[in-house]
Amino acid sequence: MTMEWNVYIENFNSKTIECYNIFNHYRFNNEVKENYDKYSNDFEMFAETIKQSLMYYFWSKCEWEIILSDWPPSKKFNEKKVDVYDQIMLNWDKFILYVWQKMKETDDK
């Protein structure tokens, strides 16, 4: 079973902004599976544990943050630091339903 949910991150090696599938993060992906096994009958608890895992792995860590700014730059130069957790929270309801449904599909096989 393959899940895909892309976010923007900085590739420090190439100094570029790239799309990254968060399910490529081995430990996070394993926690999703473990939490589903534990809470496969309780969507609310599953959602809460996934949110906690997202915070643990992706929240407020410089390797998972990018800076958004206005373009073209102005004298006021508005910037905002955004991490992977923030990006996922923008569509939290869709994200958690996607993960739940994908895990259910795997469970049914």
pLDDT in tens, 85-105: 999 999 999 999 999 999 999
Q: What is the pLDDT of residues 1-14, one digit of tens each?
A: 689 999 999 998 99
pLDDT at residue 80 greater than cutoff 80: yes
Residue 10: count of CB within 10 angstroms of its CB: 17
Confidence band for 49, pLDDT divided at 50, 70 and 90: very high
- In-domain check, residue 86: yes
pTM: 0.88
How many domains is the chain partitioned into structurally?
1
- In-domain check, residue 1: no
- In-domain check, residue 67: yes
What is the pLDDT at residue 70?
82
Rounded Cα gap, residues 41 and 87, in angstroms: 27
DSSP H stretches of helix in the chain: 26-39, 43-58, 84-89, 92-108
What is the pLDDT at residue 1?
62
- In-domain check, residue 22: yes
What 3-state class would DSSP assign to 17? strand
Host domain of residue 95? 6-108
